[in-house]
Amino acid sequence: MATDEQMFKGTVQQLRSEMKKRLGDSHKGIAIKSKADDLKSNSHGWYAIVATWKGYPPVELWFDRSLGKPERHYWFGFGVTQKAKITKLFQAIPVQSRPKKTLSDSDWHMVGANYEIKRSSLTTQDMSWSVYECYPGAGYYWGMFDPVNYGAGSEAGLFNVNRAANFICSAIEFVDPEEGDEEPYAGREGGRAHRMVETPQRCAKAARHRKEKDNHVCSICAKRCIFEFQGEEKPIERTFSEAHHIVPISKIDVEREVKLEDLRTVCPNCHRMLHKMNGTKADMEALRKIVHCNS
């Protein structure tokens, strides 16, 4: 029979595979780990970093006895030592998706050489929602506890990977692609690709305003990039619109403020096509004609 550690190692790889299938090889700064034997021991169990996320907390999976029971429990979510990164993530997700329960230092106690959560601090009902664990000096975690008590060996392999992937990937998708570090514009100028000269904060603010002003309707294909899905308490709207620079970033050589008139709202598909064109102002109209001729 496989040991708990062996089963957990397999579960980590399953979660990595599921995330890679959903997010692709490169998505908003996500780098999914590939090493299978990178487990670390903690709280009578193990944890692994499933993926790193540029500018945000890494994705982690735990399998331990931190709930103070003989059986081990799974926990999945985001963990980091810098509070600023977890705060940045909270600011990017809808209010409905933010944690409904917070645990602090007073909710833990020492049992031998390990920390355990006091049973009175976390009920089975609390495990239905995401929980924020705030431990200054130790770490900050946002994730979900699996309420299932897993016995030894093969039972550890019964973990619901889809539930973990749903929570993690939904949080990642909520983050605006215009937030954080900007990528170089794909257009070419003399074989050079310039990095963006506007500050990321200024660009992100202008991009959000542009998309809101256009009601998230693509300037090329006229499709509205808003989808609704069922949240924990009520339906949640998720926007997929993006902001396109009509003056290519590769041709901006001096620092300046990004204005609304510099941007156009586009859907992800049209945005990708624009970045494969000539990198000029004329690209918008040229692509619009192509799309409408083929619709």
- Same domain? For 72 and 144 the reply is yes
- Same domain? For 12 and 155 the reply is yes
pLDDT number for residue 204: 66
- Same domain? For 39 and 126 the reply is yes
- Same domain? For 142 and 211 the reply is no
pLDDT number for residue 142: 95
Within a domain: 237 = yes
- Same domain? For 89 and 221 the reply is no
Domain end among 156, 174, 192 = 174
Domain end among 108, 140, 174 = 174
- Same domain? For 217 and 170 the reply is no
Q: What is the mean pLDDT of each run of 10 residues along the chain (295 residues)?
A: 81 92 72 80 87 92 87 92 90 78 88 79 87 89 87 64 89 62 33 37 70 91 78 62 78 64 90 84 91 80
pLDDT number for residue 201: 42
Token couple for 163: 């539930």
Domain end among 174, 209, 229 = 174
Within a domain: 281 = yes
Q: Angle at the Cα of 192 (from 191 to 193), degrees rounded to 5?
A: 130
The structural domain count of the chain equals 2
Within a domain: 253 = yes
The separation between the first and the last C-alpha atoms of the chain, rounded to the nearest angstrom, is 58
Domain of 161, in residue numbers: 4-174
Within a domain: 227 = yes
Q: Where are the alpha helices (DSSP H) in 152-282?
A: 161-174, 200-213, 268-274
- Same domain? For 30 and 73 the reply is yes
Within a domain: 188 = no
- Same domain? For 160 and 269 the reply is no
Q: Tokens 């509070």: give the residue.
A: 83
- Same domain? For 142 and 18 the reply is yes
pLDDT number for residue 157: 59
Residue 253 and residue 198 in contact, taking contact as beta carbons nearer than 8 Å: no
- Same domain? For 25 and 163 the reply is yes
How far, CA to CA in Å, does 196 sit from each of 210, 245, 249?
18, 11, 6
In terms of Cα–Cα distance, which of 24, 232, 25, 16 is closest to 129? 232
Q: Which amino acid is present at 261?
A: E
Within a domain: 251 = yes
pLDDT number for residue 43: 77
d(CA 225, CA 157): 38
Spatial neighbors of 270 by CB under 8 A, at least 6 apart, are 218, 219, 220, 221, 287, 291
Within a domain: 191 = no
- Same domain? For 24 and 124 the reply is yes
Within a domain: 184 = no
Residue 76 and residue 60 in contact, taking contact as beta carbons nearer than 8 Å: yes
- Same domain? For 27 and 168 the reply is yes
